[in-house]
Chains A and B, each alone.
Chain A
Amino acid sequence: MPASLPELIAALPHEEESEEPGQPGLSDALERVAMRPVPVGRFRRLRLLGTLQAQIAVAYLFHWLRGWFKSADENKRLLAETHWRTALRVLNSMSYLRGAVMKAGQMLANFPDIAPRAFVETLERLHFDAPPMHWSLLREMVHNELGDDPENVFAEFDKRAFAAASLGQVHRARLQTGEQVAVKIQYPGIARTIREDFRNLFPFLLPARLSNDWENTKDQFEDLRLRIEAETDYVQEAANLEKVRALFREEDGIVVPRVYREFSTARVLTMDWIDGVHMDDYLARNPSQEERNEFARKMLRAWYRILFTGRMLYADFHPGNFLFLPDGRLGLIDFGFMLHYEGEEWEIMRRMDRALTTGRRDDRIAAIKEWSNTTDEEPERIRLMEEFADWCWRSRYCGGEFDFGDEADFRRGVDLFTEMVRKRYSRARPSTPTVSRHQFGWRSIYYRLKAKIDVRPICEEEVKATGWDRSEYAA
């Protein structure tokens, strides 16, 4: 059952008496924020984002963590709660957090049991409503990073941001050489602070070893922490963009913006402007079934090209990261969050591919056992995971037109996943939360597009292009 906010507040670890005088207790503060409408002033909103909203995110996290300690002995539970109190205090000291709250929300979105839809949606809204940098601050950032004022560096620079990015905002501009560009600018110091704070926070969230599953959860958190670091690094994002851009040709109809290195730093990322609309605006025009299918095919091709040729996973399969161009091309933006498969990781992906391709139950079970380190001694676990894998992979191995707009089917996947979370079957490779996020990301986009497409031939084409011979699967 998703917990209600008052329940979560009641479940929070108690604050110690040494709390600063004059500061309301955390539970009071949470209660007040639950009762009151969110004020709209810039300053007040900043404060809220800085502490209370973040604490709500953490309240959910604690709620989830606590579940692990239900059957633990008293000492272990007390130890864990002491650590959580420290974590709370660390969190209280983070005064910025407008980027991190969203990151925490995205992280929690992988656990629907504790992150009901309303919660995730609230966090998303907070992200897009984040207070903007005004022009004077922006100028200083550009001056700091690119060595001169925006009006001297660029031929034109739109003072109004056209979009919020997770750590800052995006402005439209024109280079002296004429190219239209999008300039993404980070709020000063935010990435560095997020990285440092999460480095401080995580050890306190992960205090004890209780079971195999728990130990594995720690690895998954650690993996998330590393991803947060990657995602807050524009230099890494620029490298990802260049790597992916090189994978596509004009005839693919898939556009990846070019990075302008001379106008990019760790805090500023300048890339081609792509003239397209987001999914909501696209769907509002009532595009035909075939048009929607074509965009769905392009998304799939992009995903498989990046995976099979680029050996990366475009993990952020999120509507905000796709642009629908009027001429039918698909734009991919935002490459902060990519999984890179190397060495053993790639070999595991190759072994998973067998199960995805043959559709044989035995192959599926073998893949699950390897992915989540499970043996025949846990039949219920294997049953559930096999069913979930079948839901994830069916469209691919069955071939033929698959109706992604089928609500009952979509719901089945969510239910299976929720059941796994409730049973605390979290033991799996560290990248599992990311892979799940990707899985639900693309399925919910296809669900909203009501796409009806055949997945298999696109996949086969992309595999074939890499020269990978899979004839052994026939055996």
Chain B
Amino acid sequence: MRITAQAKSETRHRILEVAADLFRTKGFESTTTRDVAQAAGIATGTLFNYFATKETIVTELAAEALARARKQFEKAEPSETFEEALFALVAIELRQLRPSRKYIAPMLETALSPLAAGQRNEPGEELRVRHLEMVVSLAHSHGFGELSPVALQLYWTLYTGALAFWAKDRSPKQEDTLALLDESLAMFAAWLADSANETKRSNGSNNTE
């Protein structure tokens, strides 16, 4: 029997939905792939046709939340400064990720960690690229040229660091994450502006020589 594309997409959607529920109520660690399959009304073997691991499910849940965040961000009013725009982008993402905050940490460690370069899983890599593309385009619209690989790596480290902090933030309404994010992004934007000025200055002095 052939399974239609629509049925496939529905099953996939159902798996994600029940998995999110289970992770939230039972916790990520104590939820097994069997639990997920059972709740979705499919065989465990069938589940693996859709998602290879539990971590992939979480990454996919995060990817969906982040895609929603990006759509919202694109509709929102543009920010005055680069630093503020970055803050707005991450803040919208965090709002979307909030329901999955409790179980998102393992995903951050495996899929997004700057240390996992070369061994990233595909959805994780896609998340990274999508987000960085957004950052590059924001940098562009705020008058910065191309971002160097160093700049991107620095940004990614700050970003995933903030996410990791957020996942474990025990302050009321995770307000400490907001402060951390504010400082980190201010630092990044200031560093970027400084290096841009540096480049201009050295170009200028080259010209006079």
Using CB atoms and an 8 Å cutoff, list the residues of chain A in contact with chain B: 41-44, 46, 95-96, 133-137, 139-141, 143-145, 187-190, 192, 266-267
B79: chain A residues at CB < 8 Å are 134-136
Is B55 interfacial (CB 8 A cutoff)?
no
Query: A-B pairs with CB below 8 Å: how many?
Result: 60
- Could you give, for residues 86-119 of chain B, a 1 whenever the CB lies within 8 Å of some chain A CB and a 0 otherwise? 0110010001000000000000000000000000
The distance from the CB of A267 to the nearest CB of chain B, in whole angstroms, is 7
A190: chain B residues at CB < 8 Å are 179
B81: chain A residues at CB < 8 Å are 134
Is B17 interfacial (CB 8 A cutoff)?
no
B190: chain A residues at CB < 8 Å are 41-44
The answer to whether B83 touches A188, judged by C-beta atoms less than 8 angstroms apart, is no
The distance from the CB of B75 to the nearest CB of chain A, in whole angstroms, is 13
Residue of B with least CB distance to A44 = B190
Given contacts A43-B187, A136-B91, contact A188 B179 (CB under 8 A): yes
Using CB atoms and an 8 Å cutoff, list the residues of chain B in contact with chain A: 79-81, 83-85, 87-88, 91, 95, 171-173, 175-176, 178-179, 182-183, 186-187, 189-190
The answer to whether A136 touches B179, judged by C-beta atoms less than 8 angstroms apart, is no
The answer to whether B178 touches A188, judged by C-beta atoms less than 8 angstroms apart, is yes
Residue of A with least CB distance to B186 = A43
The answer to whether A136 touches B176, judged by C-beta atoms less than 8 angstroms apart, is no
A267: chain B residues at CB < 8 Å are 175
The distance from the CB of B129 to the nearest CB of chain A, in whole angstroms, is 24
The answer to whether B178 touches A140, judged by C-beta atoms less than 8 angstroms apart, is yes
What secondary structure prevails in chain B residues at the interface with A? helix
Given contacts A42-B190, A43-B190, A140-B91, contact A134 B175 (CB under 8 A): no
A187 to B175, CA, bound (A): 9
B179: chain A residues at CB < 8 Å are 96, 187-190
Starting from the known contacts A134-B87, A189-B179, A267-B175, 7 additional A-B residue pairs (CB-CB under 8 Å) come to A46-B183, A135-B80, A137-B84, A137-B178, A187-B179, A188-B179, A190-B179
- Among B83, B171, B172, B183, contact of A134 (Cβ-Cβ < 8 Å): B83
A164 to B40, CA, bound (A): 54
Q: List 24 A-B contacts (CB under 8 A).
A: A42-B190, A46-B186, A95-B183, A96-B179, A133-B182, A134-B80, A134-B83, A134-B84, A136-B84, A136-B85, A136-B87, A136-B91, A137-B91, A137-B182, A140-B91, A140-B178, A145-B173, A188-B178, A188-B179, A188-B182, A189-B179, A190-B179, A192-B171, A266-B172
B183: chain A residues at CB < 8 Å are 46, 95
